[in-house]
Structure 1
């Protein structure tokens, strides 16, 4: 706001020291700081109120439209795509990727290496299922043991009281 250098601030400080005096100078600086703080708070409150009013009025939507219109190539292409119900290049690429992945998943093994990989994949799936089942059984057993221990503790506490 003010472009004050070190020398200008030093001159202002010396003048304030001479005019106000050393006893009242801290009070002057304190009240000046409070005034500046109040002014900043009012400015912040005003700015947030203006932003809220702009959001309610839909200025952000208008701003997006203006930015889109500033790029006529993109604006025109989007409007043409919207009017003709064409897909964007991102959507087309995503569909192509999905088709390629589906094709790769459905592909039959062509050589011995592919057959071996498919066999290993099946073995890994079977092993993973076995591990999952074993973990589920262990978890159920542990939960049953914890439940039995809790019931025993409750029964003991009931008998002890």
Structure 2
């Protein structure tokens, strides 16, 4: 930044020792260190403010793009989402197995409805059930040699 070389730095130190004196040098260094620290804090604060402004500008640009995209979609589909994308909250119809069909054959219409609801509830609970746990490893782990192999000499 300032491009101060070793010779210039040595010249500054010699002048500082002659002007300030060796007795007051530690105090001068402490004061200079405090000023440098304050300048660093100020520059970091300034940089943080600039970064926040840039981030806000980027968010505004993205929001404008999203609004434009949303308006385009709304123009293409004025009636709302296509029927296949409408949320219904229900699960798609499930195919019954042969065993389930055999159980339903001898039931009355009310019993069939109740049985189908039970099958749907079972499918729903199975969808939200926790994943099965892996089978435990055998209790005895394979033994590994602890000593390094012997070297043949």
TM-score (norm 2): 0.39
Greater relative contact order, per chain length (Cα 8 Å cut-off, separation 6+): 2
More helix by share: 1
TM-score (norm 1): 0.37
